[in-house]
Amino acid sequence: MTDLAAPPSDDRGESATEPLGLHRDQRAQILPLVFFLGVAFFTSVVLVINTGRTTVGRVRAQNAVDAAAVSGATSVARGMNYVSSNNITTSKLLALVVLVRAFPDAIDMAQTTLDLWKIAAKAMHAAANTPWTAWLHAVATAIEIKVQVEEVILQALEAAHEAVASFLGVDDEDSGLIWLAMKGLHYLGQAIVWVTPVLAQVATIQVYRENVAPEEGVGWMLPIYPAMPACEGTFGDFYDMTRHWV
């Protein structure tokens, strides 16, 4: 019977068939930890940078939206100011029509007053055998001079009125200069009401694009056609409302 040979042993006297003591080797044990920590650090850096860029982009976009909204609203408000100024000018022209048309009546009333002064002067001249006869004659003479001067002024004013009324065409409501001017202002106001929303939208898009740079994007007002809060009507409506006073 043959005996089996004993397994060889290493220099330290241990059996060669026994497993190596890997658990005793501590080299590179920190490497996995460093690897995972590096990945976590890199991920955190990327997350912080991405979050920062996103936040900056959102702030820039919000500022661009605010600036665009203010710009569009300002354009609409400016258009309303133009319409208001246009209406004020039209009202002034209409007031001029009222004034020119009322001027003959004012001249007639002034002439009636002068006629009464003439009657009073004649009554003073007719007074006789009174202690104040001389004084009454002096006052009557002064009144007559006053009446003559004012009659000359009234005649000049009447001639000037006729010239102004003829030039402005106050009585010609179809083709008179002042009426054509008021109609032109009416159509100008309508044009402003139509065009202003378009200009406001253009200003909104331009301001948004300038403020959102270097990013790209388009911003606009809603609704797409921001109609102005203006009352729609015709010149006839305006004229009919004031015809009684004109």
Q: pLDDT at residue 7 above 70?
A: no
Average pLDDT along the chain: 82
Share of the chain above pLDDT 70, in %: 80
pTM above 0.75, yes or no: no
Is residue 217 a contact partner of residue 228, using CB atoms and an 8 Å limit?
A: no
- Beta carbons within 10 angstroms of residue 211's beta carbon: 20
Q: How many angstroms separate the CA atoms of 131 and 97, rounded?
A: 53
pLDDT band at 78 (very low <50, low <70, confident <90, very high): very high
Is residue 92 a contact partner of residue 181, using CB atoms and an 8 Å limit?
A: no
Q: pLDDT at residue 156 above 90?
A: yes
Dihedral angle sign, alpha carbons of residues 44, 46, 50, 53 = positive
pLDDT at position 2 is: 47
Q: pLDDT at residue 194 above 70?
A: yes
Could you report the per-residue pLDDT of 8-51, keeping only the tens digit for each? 555 554 444 555 555 565 666 677 778 888 888 888 888 888 88
Is residue 231 a contact partner of residue 80, using CB atoms and an 8 Å limit?
A: no
pLDDT at position 237 is: 61
Q: pLDDT at residue 207 above 60?
A: yes
Q: What is the 3-state secondary structure (H, E, C) of 61-118?
A: HHHHHHHHHHHHHHHHHHHHHHHHHHHHHHHHHHHHHHHHHHHHHHHHHHHHHHHHHH
Could you report the per-residue pLDDT of 108-138, keeping only the tens digit for each? 999 999 999 999 999 888 876 677 778 888 8
